[in-house]
Chain A
Amino acid sequence: MGVKKVGAKPQTLVEKIFFLDFIKGLKTTIKHLWKKVITVDFPYEVVVPPPRFRGIHGLRTVDGTEGPEFDGWVKRLKIKPPEPGETRCIACKFCQAACPVPELFDIQSEKLDVPEDHPHYGLKVMTVFNMDLSKCTFCGLCTQACPTDCIIMTDIYDLSAYTRRNWVLDKDMLTQIANDFVARRGKEKFDEKSQWREDQKLWPEYDKTREKLWDFNMPRLGPNYQDQTA
């Protein structure tokens, strides 16, 4: 078992008389005197969050990139097959079941009010989807539970609000957030089947602000594993 002893060594006389301890310390200080500023001037400058960033939630809409099991889930839960542009949510409440704070969700679905001979007779749609983000822990478990990849987490992190009411996002707001996010950065995060991309980057390399916090000495990103390609 490797045990390494550390302990105090007394200051030598030379050190004491010539203030060597201070002089050496000052060397470090002087070294930093000519360095460039590394602080980011928020909010005038922002660092772009990485693709995996767990920010405010969104509800994705049907856009042709659903997973192969999507139709099966829609059928199983007797949901009206969504048109492109409509929400993917099938009101299965898996997200709520996986959430450490389940009471923050309010998910409801309703049977469609159509005559018996209508093809959608007896099918349901999701009508209410409220999330109280003041209770959310931003753990991401809901996104991992969702069978239709509907609920996602975006890169938006500023959720301060004046009233508690404003922390509760409804389904329209959530859908809008997801649409905006997917348009901006969907390609970076998801593949064509809405799964996380395999080559998801550690952080976006187009972001130049990040250089600052890395002391203008950024690492170059490459493959992790020996059989991974660039």
Chain B
Amino acid sequence: MTGVALKGLLARRVRAILTALAIVLGVAMVSGSFVLTDTISKAFDSIFTSSYSHTDAVVSGRKLVDYSTGGNTTVSQTVLERIKRTRDVAAASGALIDLNGDSTHANLIGRDGKAIQSNGNPTFGFGIDTSQPRFNPLKLKEGHWATGAHQVVIDAETAKKHHFAVGDTIGVAASGPKESFRIVGTATYGDVKSLGGATLAVFTIPTAQRLLDLHGYSVISVAAKPGVSADRLVSELKQEVPASAQVRTAKEQANEDKQGVASFISFIRGFLLGFGGIALFVGAFVIFNTLSITVAHRTRELATLRTLGASRRQVLRSVVLESFAIGLAASVIGLVAGFGLARGLSSLFGALGLTLPETSSVYATHTFVISLVLGVLVTVLAGFVPALRATRVPPIAAVREGAVIQRKKRLGPAAGVVLFGIASALIAYATLGGHLGSGKSLLALAGGALLGLLGVAGFAPVLVTALASVVGIPAKRLGGAAGGLATDNATRNPARTASTAAALMIGLALVTFVAVLGKGVHGSVDRAVNKQVTADWVVTSQNGWSAFPAGAGRAVAKAPGVALASDIRSDRGRIGSANVNVNGIDPATIARVYHFDWRQGSNATLVRLDGHGALVKQSFAKKHHLVIGDDFTLRSPAGKPVRLAVAGIFQPPRVMELLGGVVISREAFDRTFPRPSNSLTLIEGSPTQAGLDKALAAFPDAKAQTKADYVKAQSSFINTMLNLLYVLLALSVIVSLFGMVNTLVLSVFERTRELGMLRAVGMTRRQARRMVRHESVITALIGAALGLPLGIMLAAAVTHALGKYGVTFSLPVASLVIFTVAAMVAGVLAAIAPARRASRLNVLEALQYE
């Protein structure tokens, strides 16, 4: 019986391959996601591990604040001396290496005078004591290490990509204006093949300290004397270091370093797997549909098997075995295709400016297991209902034409309505509760969307006839008789048309959702930025959101035409145990370039920002029970405290807040925070672009834009994000395209005789082709007619929930038109092969076809 099932599958191999394609892409996405993230993860692993390969203990500044731009506290030279004198220490070496924070960054300048790295990837600037090679995580590739104040070693990858060689001069900009250095060598980070988009500049310790404006070291690596355990060394060192420093074993430190990266990687993995899941979900529809049609075609064969003594269980097993075989073959192909797709995903991220470090590709066991199990499971589950249907084929169908499978009453529509009801309730729960973003409500939202799609797919057969008669109008008008027949064909088997269309519906609904939501968010970002900024020009870092040297603000203030330039400093601080954004502003000028939404106080309040006074964001004040006049202590990332009193309360928009948390005067900020840097410099006046560019020439990391351009740039990341989502969702649309090809091929095959008859009574080949094509377009349009409203409804619910962030509902009409046209094009594409087949039928053979 197994043999019989497999031979049957072999005989229908074209159909089997078409079916399998539906699952290949989904599996490829899953396997690709794993390969990519495992590879990235291994690259980071080896970065972190090679950082401490000959180290037993690591001393570093205690981390008080997350995501600080100024960096953690450093460890002083005196502490290093003391560590070196500790009993069981064989060697110790200080370095300026901060892999996770922002404190050791130095921008390399390309030959065009612009920063090599401008889209937010790390630009590491390290100071390394190369006299102690055992602590050096870098490997020299060419030349020698920096020994003088004007020497630098850069990473080999950047050198190659940007055509720098040993002996060349290169510009470097860190916390001050750019300076020139001579490249004396190139290096790699451990065995890491590519640092992704990151660049690396290595200086002598004193040069790095000066460039980075850091005192002491960010990290001290310690090696124990032979026979001394790392733990013992750590406890000894703990006696020696001040409270501002912490001691960890090298292993602990590596794990600690990895943590942030690990959660970032698992986010990316989950994100990509989500799209794999959607593609698999769509694939399941396609498989379900194809196998249903196949089972219907095989009624007589299955019934004959029953009369020959096959039990229901055997029939079930043979159909399940078939889907298992299809699933397995598809999963194996998908798994391997995923290895290639991983490269594609990596370049996709690269195109969006997110280049991640890589080593040679990692093919982990879990990639194989999960991809294969998932692919097979989805296929078998999707094939289970058709398999059950096959068991209901009565043996008498072997002899009696038209003996249809006895159906229990059709459950689809009723179940669909129920599912849709549950889905609506879940979505309402998620979006009306006012706490979208909590795990529970996001889960409810995702579940609701999923059930909603299933629900619509369930009752779609009821809608097909009505929808087809509407979307079929153009076909009738344009296609004449062939167009009319196409509409009839599409409604002949509503269940089949419905589930074919449903596969496309899923992709279209999600694309629509993303487009509508994207437009809403875009609008809210635009409004938020527009409202806050009243300046004429804005200086930001190249990527628009990183910090840039405070010196750039001073430089730009002297540019011709600049009436005033108001710097906004930015870092993170700590109040009690809470982290908070802190901004330093110039109280005298800020009101001319920034609009405060005052809750308590007015622009006159600003004069009270004298070093003690602070403005507090309303939501922060509420949460920490602060009222006007209250005293509180703010700590810098270095642990330095400052006493503040609430002078005024304001509320920035909930998205794109340019000032937030706690706002103090720039003087107070600069006194309190190490390495103060700007997030923005707001300019009033009418300077020229050329004038500002000239003023900023020494600060290649900063750029000046008009307010309008700045606003546009701020929301452009949304477009980037939308494009990424479109590309990833396109995958599931392609899967549904396979489904359409499948259904059409099978329908044409099924109607061979009828097509022969039509041709015999005078239908031309062209008309036959047109008939199939119109049917395909009608199916695609039904998919659009179901998917677009569904996506819009979902987006409406979510925009409602995001209302407090200023997100409003508005239809991206142009995008919706494009999606509909794309669906029609998809219909035409899907029809190419089936239509050709229909038109090439030999009339005589077709008529005899049984």
A binds B: no
Enumerate chain A interface residues (CB-CB to B < 8 A): none
Enumerate chain B interface residues (CB-CB to A < 8 A): none
